[in-house]
Amino acid sequence: MSNKLIAPSVLASDFGNLQRDIEMINNSEADWFHIDIMDGVFVPNISFGMPVLKAISDHAKKTIDVHLMIVDPDRYIKEFAKLGANILTVHYEACTHLHRTLQAIKAEGMKAGVAINPHTSVDLLKDVIKDIDLVCIMSVNPGFGGHSFIENTYQKVQRLKEMITLNNSETLIEIDGGVTDKNAAELSKAGADVLVAGSFVFKSENQPETIKNLKQIANS
């Protein structure tokens, strides 16, 4: 039975009403909170940091999936664990010793994720695939919400899915950027397990209904 997950991206929420939007996710059919941390160096944008994550995790009642778009993420692994992250995803492009970073994340009791930019081949993950709990395939260039989905993503998902199956690994595939009701079914079919959705959820009239529909499409 398919169990595709939906992870609304809090970056697209209304920060003036953050608690209201966190409760909306708590009470919806969403599975995870997707939290984007940007440092203005790895990506050309700065999102929010530790105090805001603390405020989110004080109210969130579901898995907290933290996506670090920062250089040298090793510096903050312990702190993110303390702040309540359940999954900590680092960028392949930001890690010199990726294998070591993954072990350090797991040592703090979190699941270890690796995100790859649109130009990064999934083949580069082959030698560490069994050490990765989640691969986040960026389907936009990281740094901003509301950008259009890059079509080449489908074939990356298929290739990664083949690699995971071949290696008998449990790694989940997450898609991040430009996810809507137009691409959810095809992403799911290609092998995606988790769909992150920011603008599509938060810019809609009825957010819980949008989450519910997206989940239905992903699981159809």
Any idea which residues carry the catalytic annotation? 36, 176
Ranked by CB distance to Zn ion, the top (closest) residue is 67
Contact between 161 and Zn ion (CB under 5 A)? no
Contact between 193 and Zn ion (CB under 5 A)? no
**Binding letters toward ligand DX5, positions 12-31, x by CB under 6 A:** x-------------------
Contact between 9 and ligand DX5 (CB under 6 A)? yes
What's the rounded Cα separation, in Å, for the pair 35 and 18?
13
The residue (of 141 and 169) whose beta carbon lies closer to ligand DX5 is: 141
Shortest reach from residue 107's CB to ligand DX5, in Å: 25
DSSP 87: E
Q: How far is CA 183 from CA 73, 97, 176, in A?
A: 31, 34, 12
What's the rounded Cα separation, in Å, for the pair 72 and 80?
14
Contact between 161 and ligand DX5 (CB under 6 A)? no
Question: Which of the residues 80 through 109 are near ligand DX5 (CB under 6 A)?
Answer: none
Q: Check if the beta carbon of residue 60 is closer than 8 Å to that of residue 43.
A: no
The residue (of 83 and 202) whose beta carbon lies closer to ligand DX5 is: 202
What's the rounded Cα separation, in Å, for the pair 119 and 15?
31
What's the rounded Cα separation, in Å, for the pair 6 and 48?
22
Q: Check if the beta carbon of residue 26 is closer than 8 Å to that of residue 57.
A: no
Among 73, 113, 191, 198, binds ligand DX5 (CB under 6 A): 198
Q: Check if the beta carbon of residue 10 is closer than 8 Å to that of residue 197.
A: no
- Positions in the binding site for Zn ion (CB under 5 A): 36, 67, 176
- Positions in the binding site for ligand DX5 (CB under 6 A): 9, 11-12, 34, 36, 67, 140, 142-147, 176-179, 196-200
